[in-house]
């Protein structure tokens, strides 16, 4: 099952990458996709028996537009800071440390990447349940564990 799904995903990717539909390219595609799927079909679906993977993926794609909106806000903020003539008065950088509720590894990766892409904060280090985040000033740090962690908890259905 995992082998078949991996093979189909790889083959769709092959078709879009090559763009040719004659039998020569397709047969090479079948050969190489089979080889890669035999070697690595247990990477992509480690726990395929766990339920709710489809719902999780759908919720994740619903999370992406909000993330892009936040990224645009972050870039406008960085542009404002970079072009401001008295920039050194506005920034007050600190590394802040807080505890997270997320247990799943993939949820933690998503949370760390989202922190990096939203206004004024970047993740430095994750060390046993503690996130170390570099915030550019105190008002950027104020919004931190709250709203975004709640959204990611909702996506990955923890608790």
Partner 1 sequence: MIIGAKIFMIAGLFFFTTAAIGFLRFPDFYTRMHATAKGDTLGTLFFVIGLALYTLHHGFHWFSIVNSIKLISIAVFWFLASPTATHALLRSALESDLVPWTKDKKVIVAWPPKRRK
The residues in 21-40 that bind partner 1, with binding defined as CB under 8 A, are none
As beta bridge partners, residue 121 has 135
Among 2, 81, 100, 104, binds partner 1 (CB under 8 A): 81
Figure out which of the listed residues 79, 129, 139, 158 binds partner 1, where binding follows CB under 8 A: 79
Residue 143 binds to partner 1 (criterion: CB under 8 A): no
By CB under 8 A, is residue 66 in contact with partner 1? no
Judged by beta carbon, residue 5 or residue 145, the one nearer partner 1 is: 145
What's the burial of 54, exposed, middle or buried (CB within 10 Å: 0-12/13-18/19+)?
A: exposed
**By the criterion CB under 8 A, which residues form the site for partner 1?**
16-17, 19, 68, 71-72, 74-75, 78-79, 81-83, 87-88, 91-98, 112-113, 116-117, 120, 122-125, 132-134, 136, 141, 144-145
């Amino acid at each position: 099952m995992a082998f078949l799904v991996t093979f189909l995903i790889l083959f769709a990717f092959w078709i879009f990458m090559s763009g040719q539909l004659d039998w020569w390219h397709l047969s090479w595609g079948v050969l190489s996709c089979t080889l890669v799927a035999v070697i690595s079909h247990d990477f992509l679906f480690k726990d395929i028996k766990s339920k709710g993977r489809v719902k999780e993926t759908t919720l994740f794609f619903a999370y992406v537009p909000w993330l892009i909106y936040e990224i645009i806000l972050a870039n406008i903020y960085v542009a404002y800071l970079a072009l401001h003539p008295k920039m050194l008065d506005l920034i007050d950088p600190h590394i802040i440390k807080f505890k997270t509720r997320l247990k799943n590894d993939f949820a933690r990766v998503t949370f760390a990447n989202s922190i990096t892409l939203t206004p004024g904060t970047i993740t430095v280090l994750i060390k046993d349940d503690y996130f170390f985040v570099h915030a550019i000033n105190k008002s950027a740090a104020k919004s931190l564990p709250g709203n975004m962690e709640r959204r990611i908890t909702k996506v990955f259905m923890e608790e």
